A = this chain, B = another copy of it.
Amino acid sequence: MNKQRLTSTLNKAKQVCLEHGRKFTVQRKQILQILLTTDVPLSAYELASCYKLRTSSSVSVMSVYRILSFLESVNLVRRLNSANKYIAYGTDSEVFKREISLFLICRHCQKVETLAVSQSDVAKLFPHFADVGFTSQTKQFEMMGVCSECQAKLA
């Protein structure tokens, strides 16, 4: 993410927080910025380390968790269940728009590609889904594999 988009995204993120009647504090901004400028998901502890390295200040891991759950609650951050790590999105991304997301996670370089999936696609995908009367609340799917770049390198 380039500098201009980053600034724009951070500004929009602030708006989002204010719309929720919440604050966009320095720590929240820093954590979000770290996630936005890193191309791999980070754990809460990795975020705390990064924070120290980048800002000459520091933040407790406890606070990182609180900040992450706040950012998740306003849809600026997602947690990857298969990695126990966190990832952020621009406010123009499908993720932010609350659509269902498909995360393609590369086992080699750890990078994550994000695709949008519609409700109807999910229904198509799982033909027997409706039969069992299950009401889904899932907003994301995760797939592990190898990205195109790493495939090329490995070939």
Contacts and interface: CB of A to CB of B under 8 A. Distances in A.
Q: Name A's interface SS.
A: mixed
A132 interface: yes
Contacts of A106: 134
Nearest to A125: B125
B136 A125 contact: no
Nearest to A147: B134
The oligomer's copy count stands at 2
How big is chain A's contact interface, by range? 20 to 34
B126 A124 contact: no
B142 A81 contact: yes
19 contacts: A81-B142, A102-B126, A104-B132, A106-B134, A113-B132, A121-B126, A122-B125, A124-B125, A125-B125, A132-B147, A133-B147, A133-B151, A134-B143, A136-B143, A136-B144, A136-B145, A137-B144, A138-B143, A138-B144
